[in-house]
């Protein structure tokens, strides 16, 4: 099967500083891929570079289409943006469907987003992304700052979304153990280079990875 997202020789720059050197990976349709790496390895920058939010060089191809020169909002629109939808009934149906993944949000429907708990806000962000009917979701540390129980809940929901909605996921995580459990493919970044890649089960059992990221 052709890759949904293909990244080759990706370089990214903040002003004069280069923070990605030759990053490359592929995401298969329907798969969950994770990017691991220490602080400053370039994980978030990679996501930003895909969306054209930083100056970048290299190849980024989505669904066979070169999106290198596309502005951020057009990249996002490749998955049909919800707010431009005219059909109110369709939007309502979509909302109901998204609520089946996040029953908690339905309870909070009258509340302002800013008054939700951290975990609920994270759910809201994922739910909003789902409203776009995306083919690929880029998630930047969905576990950040959340209680462990909530993190497990969110990861369980992500798996369901992946399986039922056939949404491919690119997951950037600090929590390597959880990420490797969820993902079927993993890439490890170090100072802007891909230093290792393979199926999660292989990466998980690699001795270096275990020592540096999993801590046992």
Partner 1 sequence: MEQFLQQVASGLANGAIYACVALALVMIYVSTDHINFAQGEMAMFSTYISWQLMSWGLSFWFAFILAVLLSFVMGVVIERVVLRPLHNAPVLSIVVVFIGLLAIFNSVAGAIWSYLIKEYPSPFPKSSFGIAGVIGPHQLGVVLVTLIVLGLLFAFFRYTPLGLAMRAAAQNPQMARLVGVRVDWMLALGWGLAAAVGAVAGIMVAHIVYLDPNMMAGILLYAFASALVGGIGNPGGAVLGGFIVGVLENMVAFAGNLIEKTTGVYIIGNGEKLTVALIIVIFVLTVRPAGLFGRVVVKRV
Nearest Cα neighbor of 137 from 51, 64, 54, 41 is 51
Task: Single out the segment in contact with partner 1 by CB under 8 A; choices: 7-15, 38-46, 79-87, 148-156.
Answer: 79-87
The verdict on 81 binding partner 1 (CB under 8 A) reads yes
Pairing of strands 185-190, 17-28: unpaired
Residue 124 and residue 196: Cα distance in Å, rounded? 33
**Please, are residues 172 and 205 in contact by the beta-carbon 8 Å criterion?**
no
Task: Single out the segment in contact with partner 1 by CB under 8 A; choices: 20-28, 56-64, 70-78, 159-167.
Answer: 70-78
Which residues are CB-contacts of 7 (< 8 A; sequence separation ≥ 6)? 23, 24, 25, 26, 46, 50, 58, 59, 60, 61
Label residues 74-95 b or e (16+ Cβ within 10 Å = b).
Answer: ebbebbeebeeeeeeeeeeebb
The verdict on 51 binding partner 1 (CB under 8 A) reads yes
The verdict on 84 binding partner 1 (CB under 8 A) reads yes
- # chain residues binding partner 1, by CB under 8 A: 12
| Closer to partner 1 by Cβ: residue 128 or 156 | 128
Task: Report, in Å, the least distance between residue 71 CB and partner 1.
Answer: 7
Task: Single out the segment in contact with partner 1 by CB under 8 A; choices: 75-83, 143-151, 176-184, 199-207.
Answer: 75-83
Task: Report, in Å, the least distance between residue 83 CB and partner 1.
Answer: 5
Q: Interface residues with partner 1 (CB under 8 A)?
A: 51, 53, 71-73, 76-77, 81, 83-84, 128, 132
């Amino acid at each position: 099967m052709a890759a949904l997202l293909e990244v080759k020789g990706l370089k990214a720059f903040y002003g004069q500083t280069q923070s990605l050197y030759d990053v490359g990976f592929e995401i298969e349709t329907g798969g969950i891929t994770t990017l691991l790496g220490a602080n400053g390895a370039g994980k978030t920058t990679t996501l930003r570079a895909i969306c054209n939010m930083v100056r970048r060089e290299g190849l980024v191809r989505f669904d066979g289409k070169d999106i290198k020169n596309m502005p951020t909002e057009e990249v996002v629109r490749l998955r049909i943006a919800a707010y431009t939808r005219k059909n109110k009934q369709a939007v309502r149906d979509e909302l109901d469907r998204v609520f089946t993944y996040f029953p908690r949000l339905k309870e909070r429907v009258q509340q302002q987003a800013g008054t939700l708990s951290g975990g609920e806000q994270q759910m809201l962000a994922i739910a909003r992304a789902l409203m776009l009917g995306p083919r690929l979701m880029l998630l930047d540390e969905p576990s950040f700052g959340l209680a462990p129980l909530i993190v497990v809940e969110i990861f369980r929901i992500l798996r369901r979304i992946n399986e039922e909605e056939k949404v491919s996921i690119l997951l950037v995580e600090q929590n390597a153990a959880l990420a490797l459990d969820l993902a079927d493919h993993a890439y490890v970044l170090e100072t802007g280079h891909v230093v290792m890649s393979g199926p999660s089960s292989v990466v998980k059992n690699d001795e270096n990875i275990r020592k540096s990221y999993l801590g046992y």
